[in-house]
With several copies, the nearest count.
Chain A
Amino acid sequence: MIDDLERAIEAMIFASDEPLDARQVAGRLGDQMTPGQVKAIIETIAQRHAGSGIELVERGGHWHFQTPADLAHLLRRERDDPRKLSRAAAEVLAIIAYHEPVSRAEIEAIRGVQTSKGTLDVLMEAEWVMPAGRREVPGRPLIYKTTDAFLQHFGLTSRKDLPGIEDLRAAGLLDPVDLAFEEAMGELDLVKDGEEA
């Protein structure tokens, strides 16, 4: 049987929107008790909850309830949120992979467009890119390189596995993608056939 005073103090600390000290609790109880007496009761309450899923803790003389730190993982559950890398980010990543180490200004020079800071942040968040010191030129810009996680994700043993420019061209990856042009190519072939006939 928990006594009424103890119940009252427990409820008060529970419902309070900020931690309470013994003096505040005594005040709300109409100052029939000294802060010392209140403190003794608070400690009894804390004892009663010890080892449960609820803790009564003191911080700088103020008391509040909280959940034990060792159970934090149950309260904050992590969930995967897969996102597709944007075109811009893929371009920046490719430039870093082919040209590393490379500064942001150099990336922009190669891309021909400004690169937002967010794009590099995304690549660093993905842990595919990391800073690799500074270039010893005026302004000492940060330079970036790819990580081991990058190689792993893309199934590469080393950066040397990246296809060269000629391989890319042969694979058609350097061709302008233009439907009208492709159609014209088809018709030219027809002409050639006609000539041979």
Chain B
Amino acid sequence: MPLDFEIVPAAPEREDALQLSLESWEGPLDLLLALARSQKVDLKQISILALVEQYLTFIAEARELKLEVAADYLVMAAWLAYLKSALLLPKDPLEDPSPDELALRLQLRLQRLAAMRDAAARLLARDRIGRDVFLRAKPEGLRDIKVRRWDASLYDLLAAYGQVKLRAEPVVHMVSRRPVITLDAALHHLQRMLGVKLDWAELADFLPPDYDGPLRRSAIASSFVAALELARQGRVELKQEGAFEPLYLKAAGV
């Protein structure tokens, strides 16, 4: 047990030992508990007044020896000094909380810390794995072995082959074809429309209404060239009020 859990330096007999080991306490409550245990009575019967006295003496001596005393020890000392005077003075029934209540709280805290400290010691003294009881050093272990099942469909296979074949074919550069109306198509279309429309009509009216975007631009361009061609052949008359004005056409000789 001493291997694992070295009990706090029990409340030392000699004062100098107390002072030298200031660092071995974990805060004022820890020190108070060690002092309380030095009274060698049940914590329930402890004299808080005597305990306060012991603590204040301890801190005073530590300071005399110019040992550095951490702030929380000094705060506790100040509080205990107040508690001490309150306990000694005639009781003021209006004071709340009463010094007795403060003393009781301190006692309860010390009991709880002591209980947990004992519990820790008993816990560490149990039969521990690797110290008192031992396990199998090299168990076989339980294993879940994953068996890989590869999955692919016939479609995956054929699609993959298609891709291979495509990659292997001689590279053919295909200029992607933009949506266009060819001159031939425009000529054909314009001639048919001229048979229907008798009076002057704007070139744009000859275009199918559902053409839009690049296709409409292409249709206008090819229809314009087609109109010039038909005019050259004498099969259509053209008129325009001025530059960039609408272009009108009608069948020649109507």
Contact A76:B143 (CB < 8 A) given known A87-B26, A168-B115, A177-B109 = yes
A-B contact pairs, 9 of them (CB 8 A): A15-B135, A78-B144, A90-B157, A94-B158, A97-B157, A112-B164, A112-B168, A154-B123, A163-B122
| Chain A residues touching B, range | 35 or more
Q: Tell me if B162 and A110 are in contact (CB < 8 A).
A: no
Residues on A lying within 8 angstroms of B by beta carbon are: 11-12, 14-18, 20, 28, 64-69, 72, 75-85, 87-91, 93-95, 97-98, 110-113, 122, 125-126, 128, 152-156, 162-165, 168, 171, 173-174, 176-177, 180-181, 184-185, 187-188, 190-191, 194-195, 197
**Residue tally, chain B, CB below 8 Å to A:** 84
B26 surroundings in chain A (CB, below 8 A): 87-88, 111, 113
Q: How far is the CB of B32 from chain A (nearest CB, A)?
A: 8
Binding site for A on B (CB under 8 A): 3-6, 8, 26-30, 72, 101, 104-105, 108-109, 111-113, 115-124, 126-154, 156-168, 174, 176-181, 185, 188-189, 208, 211, 215
Q: What CA separation (Å) do A84 and B178 show in the bound complex?
A: 39
Please pick, from A94, A165, A174, the residue contacting B160 in the complex, using a CB distance under 8 A: A94
Contacting pair B133 A68 (CB below 8 A):
yes
**B115 near A191 (CB under 8 angstroms)?**
no
A77 touches B124 (CB 8 A): no
User: How far apart sit A98 and B120, CA to CA, in the bound complex (Å)?
Assistant: 10
Task: Specify which chain A residues have a CB less than 8 angstroms from the CB of B30 in the assembled complex.
Answer: 111-113
Nearest 10 A/B pairs, CB to CB: A112-B29, A17-B137, A173-B162, A113-B27, A94-B161, A94-B120, A90-B160, A15-B134, A69-B127, A85-B152
User: Which among A72, A90, A168, A194 is the interface contact of B123 at CB below 8 angstroms?
Assistant: A90
- Pick from B116, B129, B176: contact of A66, CB below 8 A: B129
Given contacts A173-B162, A195-B185, contact A152 B129 (CB under 8 A): yes
Complex contact A184–B104 (CB within 8 A): yes
Q: How far is the CA of A128 from the CA of B153 in the complex (A)?
A: 13
**Contact status B215-A187, CB under 8 Å:** yes
* Residue from A12, A89, A90 with most neighbouring chain B CB atoms (10 Å): A90
Q: What is the CA–CA distance of A88 and B124 in the complex, to the nearest angstrom?
A: 13
Smallest CB gap from A163: residue in B: B122
* Choice from B6, B137, B151, B157 contacting A94 with Cβ under 8 Å: B157
